[in-house]
Amino acid sequence: MKIASVAGATGLLLAAATSMIMAGPANAAGEKPLGEYTGLPDTVETTAPGDVSAMHCGHAHSNRDTRTGNFFDANAVAIRRGPHTPECAADGQGQLSHRVDYHCWTNGDAVTRGGVTYRTWSYLRDVTTGVSGWVSDAYLDRNPASSRGSTSPC
């Protein structure tokens, strides 16, 4: 009888652990979500002008993150007017050699790179060119919290 209850408890524990692995760990309120492996093909990132009249391109942001550095993880990274692609126009392109000043992050359109889908975007200023705007975290280096992009929510 005890063996059956231990087996039952073990089965429940195994089911709970399996669900946790499949769903990923829960984030605390305000904690930035990590990218999720989806195996999807890369999102085609274009710098063609989007619908500049789209009202959802104007997202609130503030300069809450004090980190600066060479944080672009690719060349020709679109710096957009909002955290949406391709609806929000790109005002410039970040390069691996460019210095970045992070401001904050928010949720936006899903962007997949290398089979990992990111739903967060960072507002930044490309110090090298002076262009400010939103960049998908898929194209930014990992930060100390093991996510990508800014660590401060907008």
The pLDDT tens digits of the residues spanning 111-131 come to 999 999 999 999 999 999 999
- pLDDT score recorded for residue 127: 97
- pLDDT score recorded for residue 12: 35
- pLDDT score recorded for residue 74: 94
Domain assignment present for residue 13? The answer is: no
The strand pair at 116-126 and 132-136 is best described as: antiparallel
Q: Which domain holds residue 133?
A: 39-139
Counting the structural domains of the chain, the total is 1
- pLDDT score recorded for residue 89: 94
Write down the residue that tokens 């904690």 correspond to. 31
Domain assignment present for residue 77? The answer is: yes
Q: Does the predicted model carry a pTM greater than 0.75?
A: no
- pLDDT score recorded for residue 29: 53
Ranges of the chain with pLDDT below 70: 1-30, 44-55
Domain assignment present for residue 33? The answer is: no
Domain assignment present for residue 88? The answer is: yes
